Structure 1
């Protein structure tokens, strides 16, 4: 079976406010917001099981300025601050790579897939990935480049801009395209199946054109 690194947020339900990082935030086990801690984790996974290799506690934004909370749980001023979950995830992946743990592909949900800078950081490291994205994520044909308007001689030159607006991923799918059903594992409520289509030659709207 193929091995992969999956990125995930592991919630720990909590009552009260005296545990580091506890806040009302999305709890994956409940499928809604609840009082909990969340750890960013990097597990090794195969089709039937996974095992966490490393994880790091996520500090919600309200903890970045809650000095009373920080002192109570001994999180020193300036020692740890709030950052998006992609930053600790990338740090954890770097640490696993330093230990010689390399895998064919990194898998993550839309919480990471919506961050283009995160994709680019993985590509800079030469890592392959599969990211879930929102269907309304906007994109462009990969070969499209911004055009430079002619300079009229007055004021600063106009910045390059695209002639056509970006479109949502769903709008880029040709009508009549056939979606293929794919089953990838056995879940707690039966086989996990969905419909997929491959979009080739597109890139996120805020990613630079390939050179």
Structure 2
């Protein structure tokens, strides 16, 4: 891979609609291509111009040993959330000395504290979407303890 200045790493997942139930990773789950819950497979990626790409294995597949055996899913493949997969892919990019850029991700990743904390621990800058219900504090700040409700007697 040619090493030069890089603007951003883009984090996303891609739904791959499927009609049947036998393809590895197929489950009823959110499919971005369709904008709704539907039968699909999901692949999780970090892109420069796609730098890492891996099929997301839903927990129903990860925990079904017979189904995995029938289609040849290796035993070492365990269930991971999409943010966990992305962090592993990003760690791999960092270890491969790929030029670092700002990590961009939608709220599916931005809402995950572990994902954001993982980026910080890798020394990466990020711009992620979050839902309005997600609470954040500036670096170094923590929430104040709740005020007492009344006198105890």
TM-score, normalized by length of structure 1? 0.62
Higher helix share: 2
State the match for 1:104 in structure 2.
101
Higher strand share: 1
Are residues 140 and 7 of structure 1, via their aligned partners in 2, closer, same or farther at CA, if it must alter by over 3 Å?
closer
SS in 2 for 1:34: strand
State the match for 1:62 in structure 2.
60
Asked if the contact 1:18/1:72 (under 8 Å) is kept, the reply is: no
Give the count of matched residue pairs.
142
Unaligned runs of 5+ in 1: 45-50, 147-161, 165-211
CA distance in 2, matches of 1:144, 1:81: 34
Task: Find the partner of 2:28 among 24, 28, 45.
Answer: 24
Structure 1 residue ranges (4+ consecutive) displaced by more than 6 angstroms after TM superposition:
none
- Correspondence 1:74-153 to 2 at 5 A: 74-77=72-75, 79-139=76-136, 143-144=141-142
Which of 1 and 2 has higher RCO (CA within 8 Å, sep 6+)?
2
Are residues 144 and 19 of structure 1, via their aligned partners in 2, closer, same or farther at CA, if it must alter by over 3 Å?
closer
Which has the greater radius of gyration? 1
Question: RMSD over aligned Cα, in angstroms?
Answer: 2.0
CA distance in 1, matches of 2:137, 2:74: 44
SS in 2 for 1:138: coil
Are residues 107 and 72 of structure 1, via their aligned partners in 2, closer, same or farther at CA, if it must alter by over 3 Å?
same
CA distance in 1, matches of 2:117, 2:7: 22
CA distance in 1, matches of 2:142, 2:65: 48
Asked if the contact 2:137/2:143 (under 8 Å) is kept, the reply is: no
Asked if the contact 2:94/2:100 (under 8 Å) is kept, the reply is: no
CA distance in 2, matches of 1:140, 1:109: 19
